Chains A and B, each alone.
Chain A
Amino acid sequence: DVKVTQSSRYLVKRTGEKVFLECVQDMDHENMFWYRQDPGLGLRLIYFSYDVKMKEKGDIPEGYSVSREKKERFSLILESASTNQTSMYLCASDSGTEAFFGQGTRLTVV
């Protein structure tokens, strides 16, 4: 059974903190994605990676960075968390044909 695991279901962080969201997949996929999901706005692509150490900006990369040191792990970094980054964050692993999602991380920045 395919598995995409996000390190936390819920996180509460303070404004200005550096925040790491981790995502691990066990399917040996090349492609991994980070989205955020907000009511009324749907899923928006933050960053994606199509290979180790490769990354591409999505539609809303400002305030975020990513790291992919190993094929199975894709990390999203909030350099200095702000209240407008309170959201549901979704990681996806993608075969190039089909996408598989993690369970999501609900991040609240106070």
Chain B
Amino acid sequence: KQEVTQIPAALSVPEGENLVLNCSFTDSAIYNLQWFRQDPGKGLTSLLLIQSSQREQTSGRLNASLDKSSGRSTLYIAASQPGDSATYLCAVRAGSYQLTFGKGTKLSVIP
């Protein structure tokens, strides 16, 4: 059974820092990996989708990498801002219906 782990569970950084969030998964037979952002009391917003054949995807200040063989993905956030404060979740897809989520990393960016 696929397991997805996100460490640390919480992270606090000063504004302007570059940071990396980690996601690891136990079964490398994945179709793709999706990073989400969740603000308190709200739903999940899709940030980046990275296919199993890709090494990375970029959107603005965000860059996601994928190393399928080692079962790892990272989300890099450049020049962090207080508005980046949220919980970030990764989810791996093994098929059309099988999406497995990590429990998330709660990010606080301190002004």
Residues of A participating in the B interface, judged by any CB pair closer than 8 Å: 4, 6, 31, 33, 40-43, 48, 50, 56, 88, 90, 92, 94, 96-104, 106
Contact = CB atoms under 8 A, between A and B. Distances in A.
Given A42-B102, A106-B41, A50 B96 contact: yes
Interface of B: 31-32, 34, 36, 41-46, 49, 89, 91, 93, 96-97, 99, 101-104
B42 A104 contact: yes
8 contacts: A31-B97, A43-B89, A88-B41, A94-B96, A97-B32, A97-B49, A99-B44, A99-B91
A86 to B, nearest CB: 14
B78 to A, nearest CB: 24
A96 B96 CA distance: 4
B41 A104 contact: yes
Contacts of A96: 96
B101 A42 contact: yes
Contacts of A90: 43-44
Nearest to A97: B32
B interface SS class: strand
A6 B42 CA distance: 11
- What's the dominant secondary structure at chain A's contact region? strand
Contact of B46 (A40, A98, A106): A98
What are the nearest 7 A-B pairs in CB distance?
A42-B103, A101-B44, A101-B43, A96-B96, A104-B43, A103-B43, A43-B101
Contacts of B97: 31, 48, 50, 56, 94
A94 B104 contact: no
A11 B93 CA distance: 31
A88 B93 CA distance: 22
Contacts of B93: 97
A100 B46 contact: yes
